[in-house]
Amino acid sequence: MQRTARICLAAGVLAGCLAIFAASAARGDEAMLSVEQQAAALQRVTVTVRVTLADTGADGAEADQQQGARVSVCSGVSLGNGLIVSSFYASTADRIRLTLPGGGQATARMRVMDEYSGLVLLATDRQDLPGIPLAEALPAVGRELVLAAAWGAEQPVVSRGIVSGVDRTLGGVSLPPLIQCDVRAAETASGAGIVDASGRLLGIVVLADQPDRVRGWTYAVPAGHVQRLLRAYGQRTETEPTAGTALAGDSVVVLKRRRPVVGMVLGGDADQVSVRRVDAGSPADRAGIRVGDRVLAADGIRIRSVYEAVRPVLFKQPGDVMQYLIEQADAVRLVEVQLGGGVELPSATLEQIGQYVRPKIDIEGLADGHFRASSSRGEVREVFAGEPDLEEMEADPPVATNAERLQMLQRALEAYRSVIAYQQKELGRRDEERKQMEQQIRLLQEQLQQLQPAR
83, pLDDT greater than 70: yes
29, pLDDT greater than 80: no
SS3 content of the chain, % helix, strand, coil (to 5): 30, 30, 40
239, pLDDT greater than 60: no
Contacts of 248 (CB under 8 A, 6+ apart): 237, 240, 242
393, pLDDT greater than 50: no
Q: How far is CA 128 from CA 109, 118, 272, 360, in A?
A: 17, 26, 54, 27
More confident residue, 371 or 173: 173
Rounded distance between C-alpha atoms, residue 274 and residue 265, angstroms: 9
By the 10 Å C-beta count (0-12 exposed, 13-18 middle, 19+ buried), 186 is classed as buried
More confident residue, 398 or 139: 139
Which of 95-99, 336-340, 405-409 is least confident?
Answer: 405-409
pLDDT confidence tier of residue 374, bands split at 50, 70 and 90:
low
Mean pLDDT score of the chain = 75
Neighbours of 136 (CB within 10 A): 9
What is the percent of the chain where pLDDT is above 90? 25
Strand ranges in 88-173 using DSSP code E only, listed in sequence order: 95-99, 105-114, 119-123, 144-151, 154-168
Which of 10-14, 363-367, 369-373 is least confident?
Answer: 10-14
pLDDT tens digit sequence for 105-151: 999 998 998 888 889 999 998 888 999 999 988 899 999 999 999 98
pLDDT tens digit sequence for 312-322: 887 777 888 88
Q: Do domains 31-258+343-393 and 264-338 have the same CATH topology?
A: no
Q: Taking residues 23-42, report their average pLDDT.
A: 71
CATH of 31-258+343-393, one of 2.40.10.120, 3.40.50.880, 3.40.50.150, 1.10.760.10: 2.40.10.120
Which of 53-57, 329-333, 371-375, 421-425 is least confident?
Answer: 53-57
Q: Taking residues 254-280, report their average pLDDT.
A: 83
Give residue 373's pLDDT: 63
Q: Taking residues 217-236, report their average pLDDT.
A: 88
Phi, psi torsion values for 14, nearest 5 degrees: -60, -45
More confident residue, 220 or 255: 220
Give residue 60's pLDDT: 42
The architecture CATH gives domain 264-338: Roll (2.30)
Q: Taking residues 82-91, report their average pLDDT.
A: 88
Q: Taking residues 150-159, report their average pLDDT.
A: 88
pLDDT tens digit sequence for 400-449: 677 767 776 776 666 666 667 666 776 777 788 788 888 888 888 777 77
Which of 28-32, 94-98, 443-447 is least confident?
Answer: 28-32
HSE, side-chain direction, 13 A CA sphere, residue 394: 6
Q: How far is CA 77 from the centre of its chain?
A: 12
Q: Which of the given ranges, 58-62, 75-79, 153-157, 428-432, has the highest pLDDT on average?
A: 75-79
Give residue 250's pLDDT: 63
Give residue 267's pLDDT: 87
Rounded distance between C-alpha atoms, residue 340 and residue 257, angstroms: 13
Q: Where are the domains of the chain?
A: 1-30, 31-258+343-393, 264-338
- Tell which residue, 345, 346, 268, has the closest CA to residue 310: 268
